[in-house]
């Protein structure tokens, strides 16, 4: 797996597994703080995962019951492929395991997945329609998202999560029917930044009911430029600077 967990690192910098793990865990904690800054997840209705760089069938996520606005690295737990706690102090958010484990298993190329219930993504998902290139941000997801057209909104099994993974395919995002949005990335920063962007895209779709999409050619041109340096990464670092400040504050 190619490690791209830091925009400020030179391409030839080699990090140890411990350094990679620390960076991923820090970005997960920052990601939860970003969700809180958007006033999302007040009911604990969301989750961010990060694959462990050594035990690649395990992932880090927030232990159950912590408010997103005060998440620190010490609040994260390592969850095994069977859903049991491997490291940290539980309890494990089992609903998050049902969704994230099958996605990580099906997509060895990704590091992180993000899902949280949002004021625009959730109603947009109820319309069961794809994203169209009606805004600049929407072009990021042009030909790179899928729809999980399934009535199981209360995900209670690994098999249900596996169906989500199959619907996601090789895309960076999936719209979960009547449930909301989910994004993935090759870094935590990419997945979180993409999620915030997709929520804004959903808002545009719900507000601009008669929008005229741009052409496929124009959308592909915009997408190539917008994703040149990782569309999610750029947004993630901007959000950290705006809402959190010192990244080390979560450590």
Are 86 and 21 in contact by the 8 Å Cβ rule? The answer is no
pLDDT at residue 104, rounded to an integer = 98
Sign of torsion over alpha carbons 117, 32, 244, 36 = positive
Which token pair is 33?
């703080």
Q: Which residues of the chain have pLDDT under 70?
A: 1-13
Are 101 and 61 in contact by the 8 Å Cβ rule? The answer is no
pLDDT at residue 8, rounded to an integer = 43
Q: What is the mean pLDDT of the chain?
A: 93
| 17-250 is a CATH 3.40.225.10 domain | yes
Give me the DSSP letters along 67-110: -GGG--GGGEEEE-TTS-EEESS----HHHHHHHHHHHHH-TT-
Q: What are φ and ψ of residue 178, in 5° steps?
A: 60, 20
Which pLDDT tens digit goes with each residue over 149-186? 999 999 999 999 999 999 999 999 999 999 999 999 99
Phi-psi region of 146 (alpha: psi -120 to 50; beta: other; left: phi over 0): beta
The domain locations on the chain are 17-250
Are 230 and 8 in contact by the 8 Å Cβ rule? The answer is no
Find the DSSP H helices in 113-187: 121-126, 158-168
pLDDT at residue 13, rounded to an integer = 62
Nearest Cα to 188, choosing from 100, 86, 88, 70? 100
């Amino acid at each position: 797996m190619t490690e791209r967990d830091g925009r400020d690192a030179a391409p030839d910098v080699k990090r140890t597994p411990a350094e990679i793990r620390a960076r991923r865990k820090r970005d997960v904690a920052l990601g939860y703080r970003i969700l809180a800054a958007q006033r999302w997840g007040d009911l604990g209705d969301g989750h961010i995962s990060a694959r462990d760089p050594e035990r690649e069938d395990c992932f880090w996520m927030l232990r159950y019951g912590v408010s997103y606005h005060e998440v620190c690295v010490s609040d994260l737990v390592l969850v095994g492929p069977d859903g049991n706690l491997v490291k940290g102090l539980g309890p494990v958010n089992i609903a998050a395991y049902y969704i994230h484990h099958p996605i990580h298993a099906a997509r060895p190329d990704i590091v992180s997945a993000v899902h949280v219930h949002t004021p625009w993504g959730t109603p947009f998902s109820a319309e069961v329609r794809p994203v169209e290139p009606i805004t600049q941000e929407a072009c990021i997801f042009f030909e790179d998202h899928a729809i999980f057209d399934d009535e199981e909104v209360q995900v209670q099994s690994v098999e249900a999560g596996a169906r989500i993974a199959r619907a996601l395919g090789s895309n960076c995002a999936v719209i979960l029917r009547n449930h909301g949005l989910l994004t993935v990335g090759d870094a935590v920063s990419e997945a979180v930044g993409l999620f915030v962007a997709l929520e804004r895209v959903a808002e545009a779709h719900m507000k601009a009911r008669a929008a005229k999409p741009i052409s496929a050619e124009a959308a592909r041109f915009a997408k190539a430029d917008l994703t040149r340096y990782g569309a999610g990464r750029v947004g993630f670092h901007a959000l950290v600077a705006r809402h959190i400040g010192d990244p080390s504050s979560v450590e």
